[in-house]
Amino acid sequence: MNRGKPGLLVVEDDPALREALTDSLELAGYRVAAAADAESALAMLEREPCGLLLSDVQMPGMDGHGLLRAVKARHPGLPVVLMTAYGQIEKAVEAMRDGAADYLPKPFEPDRLLAVVAKNLRADGGEGGLLVAEDPASQAVLELARRVAATDATVLLTGESGVGKEVYARYLHRHSGRAKGPFVAVNCAAIPENLLEATLFGYEKGAFTGAAASQAGKFEQAQGGTILLDEVTELPVHLQAKLLRVLQEREAERVGGRAPVALDVRVVAASNRDLDECVRQGRFREDLYYRLNVFPLEVPPLRRRPGDIGPLARHFLERYADTVGRRGLSLSAAALAELTGYDWPGNIRELGNVVQRAMILAPGAVIGPEHLMLPRGIHRDGAQPAATRAIKDLEREMILQTLERCGGSRKRTAEALGMSERTLRYKLQRYRVGGEG
């Protein structure tokens, strides 16, 4: 699929028409997936979101109206456009009352198709991270997420760093009745402690030095939607008490404020720590833990869902094609085996970096195991030796070549290599090589 405009899903049982629709949309720059029936379309939506569903009405099995009802139950924020024959206009109008965004009477010209798509395509394109659930372990978590998403229950996401907790949080939001509202993510570990309270709950003008105007906090910004409190265990104890009151009373008081602000927000919390241990150590309030832990959802590490590794790796090949400037790359069977056998201590984040690095190193269209540069000591069989000096030399050569290809720009080089500018500067200092900022 193209990586230009946001993606959409075409559902059409006629192969020739399905191909014609897909070609027209792809030529216009859209990323397009296609399904031959409603059942396949629903399965595809569970794996990857999109910005618009375009469906025929007359199909064997579940028809377009049945698909519309199923989509509105599972993905309430997803726009649906139905394609229908002229004789079914009355039914199309009824479908719009049931939640369809629009309808296209057949036959229609490509210009009319593109106009309807442009009008109804959801602005975010359903983006916010790919949720891959090919492995049985992931499918089990996804089924639990699908069930709780339709409720307003507070969810506590746990799992190692890099497993995709925010992706699941966004999934919960997209599949809830709040999908049309805002999704606000807050990393509690990334905000200085002296700014946390004002950031979360807002402040009034003059509340402290520099407060020149009143400011709504993250909770108020999430009104009618969902707030993700990532790394919630990093909140200082005095703010844990205030958060507990917010959850109990469903209202927040700004710093320097005199009256509380009523809240209509769904809370999703996330942490990569063992919360039971944090409670035992006195670092996290027990009452707040129980308030957040209404519906616990543990996202398994990548090593416990090997069936997801291949699909994720192929996703990253597409995702980084423009960044690296190389399209049409694929993984050899040996490379895929190498990826599947690795332990992935950095989980999905590490996998993305490895794939991007391999795309730069591979001289041809096929990525082999020698281009992955995986640390040999962290394979699940534990039989391989640690990374050798040759790998460090290869890394040095790769960094310097990429720096040259990016015209000496450290920023673009760091992005291409999937590392921070800080890490790149450190490595370049070791190599005694300068680059433009």
Confidence label for 38 from pLDDT (cuts 50, 70 and 90): very high
- With b for 16 or more beta-carbon neighbours within 10 A and e for fewer, the 278-288 pattern comes to bbeeebbbeeb
Q: How confident is the model at residue 419 (pLDDT cuts 50, 70, 90)?
A: low
Cβ proximity of 5 and 125 under 8 Å:
yes
- Give the confidence band of 365 by pLDDT, cuts at 50, 70, 90: very high
**Residue 194 predicted with pLDDT over 90:** no
Per-domain residue ranges for the chain? 5-120, 136-298, 303-431
Instruction: Enter the DSSP assignment of 298.
Output: E
CATH class of 303-431: mainly alpha
Note the pLDDT of residue 111.
84
pTM of the model: 0.61
Q: Does pLDDT of 434 surpass 50?
A: no
Closest CA to 23 of 86, 110, 98, 104: 110
Please give the Cα distance from 303 to 275 (Å, whole number): 22
Q: What radius of gyration do the chain's Cα atoms show?
A: 25
For residue 55, CA distances in Å to 29, 38, 39, 111 come to 19, 8, 12, 17
Higher pLDDT, 111 or 433: 111
Instruction: Read off the tokens for 40.
Output: 């396949």
Please check whether the two domains, 136-298 and 303-431, share a CATH topology: no
The pLDDT value given to residue 431: 72
CATH of 5-120, one of 3.10.580.10, 3.30.70.1230, 3.40.50.2300, 1.10.10.60: 3.40.50.2300
Residue 384: both structure tokens together = 């391989």
pLDDT tens for 73-96 read 777 667 889 998 755 556 656 666
Instruction: Give the separation between CA 33 and CA 43, rounded to whole angstroms.
Output: 12
- CATH class in words for 136-298: alpha beta
pLDDT score for 76: 62
